[in-house]
Every structure is written in C-alpha cells, then in structure tokens.
C-alpha cells in the first residue's frame, strides 16, 4: 500500500494523475446554479463558493464511511474547502475507485483507507482506522452509509461497558452474518489494548449523517429502543436524495453494471425486480426501456398497485422463479433470493443485488451448497454450477453490483445527494453548542434546504422556474420563494 508519506492505505499512489483528471471531469458534472452571484459554479461546486470563504467547517474533524468514488472525491474536497479535516473509508469492499483514492492522498485532501477488493477483515480494519485520529479521541462528525460505522461505535461501547462491569465479555457462538462476526472479534481484540476507546469516541461525536435507506432503517430501530447515543440527520429522505439518487441514479447504473459484467442482450428477456421502492422503480423503468419483460415482486400493497398501474406484472418470486432470465434484488431486506430459489432457476440466469449490503442474495448459502462448483468468469462475475446441472451467474458476490461492476451512480445525481451531506455537516457543526438537535433522535433537513439543492442543479438543464405572485402564494398558503409543499407531501 503506497501512501506518499501521508497516513493512508490505498492501492497505488501512482494512479493519482489519472484520478485527478477524472475528478475534474466529475466536478463539471456536479452542477446547478442559483444566480450569477456564484460565478456560474453549480451544485456541489456552488456550495464551495457559498460557504468556503467563511470556512464554516473550520475545526471540524469528519470521518466518512462511503464508497471512495470520483463523485465522493468531490464531496471530500468540498468538505475540505469548507475547513474540515477528513479521514475516510469505503462502505463497500468492491466500490473504491483506486485512482480517485490516489488523487485524494496525493493532494492530502483526506486520509484514505480504502482499495478495491478488500477482504472482510480489511474492510473492518479500514473502518476502524477512520476513528483513530492522531491528536484526539475521535471525529466530531460522521458520514455513514448503511450505518456500518454507527453500529461499530455502538457495539464497541456495549462491549466496553460489559467488560468494565464484569471483567469479561460475551462472545457469541453464532453471528448474524460474516460481517458482524469479523466486526465483533475486532472489537473484542481491541478491548485488551484499550478498554474505553469506543466510549471516548461516542462521547466526542456530535452527530452523524446517514446516506442510505437501509442505514436509516437501522437507526430507526436503535432510536426506538433507546439505544441511539448520538443525534442523526437522515440525508436519505431528503427528496433530492431519495427521489433522485435512488431512482434516477440506479436507473442508469443498473444497466451500466449489467452490460459491463455480462454484455447480455436485455431486450426480450424476462427480468424480475424484487422490490418496488424508489430503487426498484428506477430499475423497472430502465429494464422496460431496453425492451425487457418486467415482473415485480412486492410485499407492500401500495407499491404493488403502483407497479401494476405502470404496466408491470406483480407476482410472487415462487411463481416466476423458473421462468426469468435476470433477477435484481432492490428490496432493502435480507434472504430475498435463497439457495432454494436458485435450485429451481433456468440455466445461466443472472443474479444481481442493487439493494442493501450483501444480504439480499444468499451467497454464503450457495458457497456452502453440497456439490456446488464455482467458476470465476472475470472479476466480480462468478458462475455457480449446481450438481443438478444448471448454473447461476452471480454479480459482485451479492454486493451492490452497480457500484462494483460499474462506476456507480452518475456524477450529476450524486451532486444532489452530496450537497445534502454538506448541508447536514454544516447544520450539525454550526449548532453543536445549541439544543436544536437531541441525542438519540433522527432529523430530516428542512424542506427549504431540499429545494435549494434542487435549484442548484436546474440551470445545467436549461430549466426556467415559474415565479409566483404574492396572490398566488397566498392562495396555496406558501411563501413566494418557498418552501412550496408541506412536509407530508409525497413527490
């Protein structure tokens, strides 16, 4: 791992020139505009002009666990421009753009601990590294994806409290999955070296901003049980994140990932989309646009009805498991496609996950299946041959293949998501001495900021907003300059 004398762990520092060229290209695609006042700098870049001179994040130490991509590099360097210091790891073993990581380290924009192809042990070690600030107990703020690092902190505190109380710790015989096993063993090993590391980190941490639907589900469970120890901002449910990144971003990166991984003809194929939330909607749209016959599986009757009225069939997985050519999981749940399902599938069907983590497709189960034969076709494309004679092709080992097999969501839509992340960091940092946000609770950014993010991107699309008169604003009970919708409005 080359680090150019700057504390980091990356694949190859020599990739920095390539990375810098592509980061500059990404910057031009992360647009929007609010007025000539900001010199035509757009979107995420406009935030640098708006808040950079005041260094609104000066003194803030930010740790991040979010895929180290070209787009994330623009986010990181925006946070730095606003005055923050940054340590960063990836939320996915296979999503790191090594040349982007090299560029960030070479310019000393952030301490990066990420490379493409990390093992599970390396992944959790990198996550631990982002909390090991050399001059303090930990970060002030955390940007998380999937709540992995939030859970790492809370589990660390739980084990430290148990150890302090009893002088021992409970080492479970069975774990929820491989990820939790490795994380727990790492925490327990660290207890022998420092008994209050995670407690100190938790005490220092001002707040977190969570990026994903799955991560928000985890936080909500923790908050409901009274276990969430910090204040949190739900970036995922900003409209300019969930309705744009999740739907329009996945709509493009889904097809990009499948084509790069397999080059398969989509037209005429029967494609099953498991889940019809925002991600599933985007996936279904693009598959139908490419000529596929789309079937949706859903547990939610409202989402199921939406799928029907969009012209899709809605069936149980068991009804179509023997018929489909491609299966895409986008549910945010676990064990959606099991080994029992795979036993019944056609030969050489393609299985890809664009939903949560690596839990939706039971890859661990298929690896342990008696008599299974695994053939690696190319990086992150594996064919598993069953003793019955048929095979299934699994993309990216069940992780988000749109990130691993392709470049993830495009820069334009990530500019929306990451503008929300910057605003969340500013909110948490500038209100750190106030009682605006309570520990243990989850907040959404004000709609005024949501609308601002959208405004920052409209100029790039040559869009013109209609301006309300005062009479019109009064009639629909809003301000002339917004916000225009109530908090309960569903876009």
Residue 397 marked as a ligand binder: no
* 346 φ/ψ angles, rounded to the nearest 5 degrees: -65, 165
- Comparing C-alpha atoms, which of 487, 490, 415 is closest to residue 456? 415
H or E stretch covering 308: helix 301-309
Distance, CA of 477 to CA of 486 (rounded, Å): 10
Residue 362 marked ligand-binding: no
Q: Is there a contact between 30 and 414 (Cβ–Cβ < 8 Å)?
A: yes
What tokens does 181 get? 């096993």
> Any binding-site annotation on 277?
yes
Instruction: For the beta carbon of residue 135, count every other beta carbon within 10 angstroms.
Output: 6
- 290 by Cβ neighbours in 10 Å (0-12 / 13-18 / 19+) ranks as middle
Consult the annotation and say whether 282 binds a ligand: yes
**Cα 289 from chain centre:** 25
148 marked among binding-site residues:
no
What region, left, alpha or beta, does residue 86 occupy, with left being phi > 0 and alpha being psi -120 to 50 degrees? beta
| 281 marked ligand binding residue | yes
Give Cβ neighbours of residue 96 (< 8 Å, ≥ 6 apart): 11, 67, 68, 69, 90, 114, 115, 116, 118
Residue 366: how many other CB atoms lie within 10 Å = 22
What does the buried/exposed string (b/e) look like for 214-239 if buried means 16 or more CB atoms within 10 Å of the residue's CB? bbbbbbeebeeeeebbbbbbbbbbbb
The DSSP code for 337 is B
H helix or E strand, kind and range, residue 381: strand 381-385
* Cα distances (Å, whole numbers) of residue 11 to 113, 187, 360, 396: 9, 25, 29, 19
Ligand-binding site membership of 279 (annotated):
yes
Is 7 known as a binding-site position?
no
Q: Is 245 annotated as a binding residue?
A: yes
Q: Return binding residues for NAD(+).
A: 277-282, 298, 402
* Binding-site sequence positions for substrate: 69, 145, 211, 241, 245
Residues making up the annotated binding site are 69, 145, 211, 241, 245, 277-282, 298, 402
């Amino acid at each position: 791992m080359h680090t150019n004398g700057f504390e980091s762990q990356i694949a190859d520092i020599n990739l920095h020139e390539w990375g810098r060229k592509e980061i500059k290209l990404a910057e031009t695609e992360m647009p929007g505009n609010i007025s000539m006042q900001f010199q035509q700098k757009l979107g995420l870049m406009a935030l640098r002009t708006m808040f950079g001179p005041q260094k609104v994040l000066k003194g803030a130490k930010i740790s991040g666990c979010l895929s180290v991509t070209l787009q994330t590099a623009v986010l990181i360097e925006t946070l730095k421009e606003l005055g923050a210091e940054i340590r960063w790891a990836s939320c996915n073993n296979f999503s790191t753009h090594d040349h982007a990581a090299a560029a960030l380290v070479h310019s000393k924009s952030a301490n990066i601990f990420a490379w493409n192809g990390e093992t599970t042990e390396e992944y959790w070690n990198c996550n631990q590294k982002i909390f090991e600030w050399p001059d303090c107990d930990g970060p002030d703020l955390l940007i998380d994806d999937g709540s992995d690092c939030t859970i790492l902190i809370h589990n660390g505190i739980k084990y430290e409290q148990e150890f302090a109380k009893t002088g021992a710790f409970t080492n479970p015989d069975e774990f929820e999955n491989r990820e939790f096993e490795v994380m727990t063993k790492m925490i327990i090993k660290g207890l022998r070296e420092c008994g209050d590391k995670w407690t100190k980190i938790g005490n220092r941490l001002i707040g977190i901003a969570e990026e994903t639907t799955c991560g928000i589900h985890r936080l909500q469970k923790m908050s409901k049980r009274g276990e969430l120890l910090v204040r949190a901002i739900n970036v995922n449910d900003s409209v300019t994140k969930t309705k744009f990144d999740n739907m329009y971003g996945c709509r493009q990166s889904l097809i990009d990932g499948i084509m790069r991984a397999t080059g398969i003809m989509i037209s005429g194929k029967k494609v099953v989309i498991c889940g019809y939330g925002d991600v599933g909607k985007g996936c279904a749209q693009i598959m139908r646009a490419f000529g596929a016959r789309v079937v949706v599986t859903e547990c939610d009757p409202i989402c199921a009805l939406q799928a029907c009225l969009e012209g899709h069939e809605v069936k149980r997985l068991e009804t179509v498991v023997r018929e489909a050519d491609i299966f895409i999981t986008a549910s945010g749940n676990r064990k959606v496609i099991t080994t029992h399902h795979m036993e019944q599938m056609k030969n050489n069907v393609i299985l890809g996950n664009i939903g949560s983590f690596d839990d939706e497709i039971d890859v661990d189960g298929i690896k342990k299946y008696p008599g299974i034969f695994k053939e690696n076709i190319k990086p992150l494309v594996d064919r598993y041959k069953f003793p019955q004679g048929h095979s299934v092709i699994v993309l990216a080992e069940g992780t988000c293949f749109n990130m691993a097999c392709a470049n993830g969501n495009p820069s334009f839509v990530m500019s929306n998501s990451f503008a929300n992340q910057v605003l969340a960091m500013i909110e948490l940092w500038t209100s750190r001495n106030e009682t605006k946000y309570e520990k243990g609770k989850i907040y959404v950014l004000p709609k005024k900021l949501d609308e601002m993010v959208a405004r920052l991107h409209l100029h790039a699309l040559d869009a013109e907003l209609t301006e309300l008169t005062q009479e019109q604003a009064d009639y629909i009970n809003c301000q002339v300059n917004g916000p225009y919708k109530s908090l309960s409005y569903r876009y």
